[in-house]
Chains A and B, each alone.
Chain A
Amino acid sequence: DTEVTQTPKHLVMGMTNKKSLKCEQHMGHRAMYWYKQKAKKPPELMFVYSYEKLSINESVPSRFSPECPNSSLLNLHLHALQPEDSALYLCASSPRGGRTSYNEQFFGPGTRLTVL
């Protein structure tokens, strides 16, 4: 299995809703990432998990809450979002975190989130 999967593909939610995005990989990768991507813009890093521990939080508002239950799974819990949070949310994984040889990130197809 050489892919990163994300569910759901599309999500529409109101500002008072609570929802979760899910990301899964079975490549044995030990680093996993959440990115936010607005239309025609590059991905913006949100969170990095390395060996299931949060290693980078790029000053993301607390209405986004990441969780890494195990080395294969990454969740992003959403609560009280704003319309400007509407974007494509990409998950990625890479073989290892920390000091290592080069390793590219493998991206999932993304979840298109719309906040009404």
Chain B
Amino acid sequence: AQTVTQSQPEMSVQEAETVTLSCTYDTSESDYYLFWYKQPPSRQMILVIRQEAYKQQNATENRFSVNFQKAAKSFSLKISDSQLGDAAMYFCAYRTEGGNDMRFGAGTRLTVKP
């Protein structure tokens, strides 16, 4: 069974600084997709960034980028120029090719200090 591990329950960053959230996963599949979701205190889950496992190039979305290491089964999220609005719970998620379900990590609560 696929598992997703986020080893940092809480992280803190100063506004305008950079922070990296860690995620590792375990799978025997070769085709899959990885996601980072953000859930602010208002509770709506929002997709931050996605990565297809067959792509070697790391995904980027504005201030958000990932470091995808397929052999190491690692998928970290880097947030540059952190803003107060980035404060939220961040979930790493995994989905197989053709799969209907998504596996979530336990989450990392990010605090942004002004």
Contacts and interface: CB of A to CB of B under 8 A. Distances in A.
Interface in A93-114: 97-100, 102, 104-110
B47 interface: yes
Interface string B61-99: 000000000000000000000000000010100010110
Interface string A63-106: 00000000000000000000000001010100001111010111
B28 interface: no
B30 interface: no
Contacts of A110: 43-44
A43 B45 contact: yes
Contacts of B25: none
Interface of A: 31, 33, 40-43, 45, 48, 50, 55-56, 88, 90, 92, 97-100, 102, 104-110
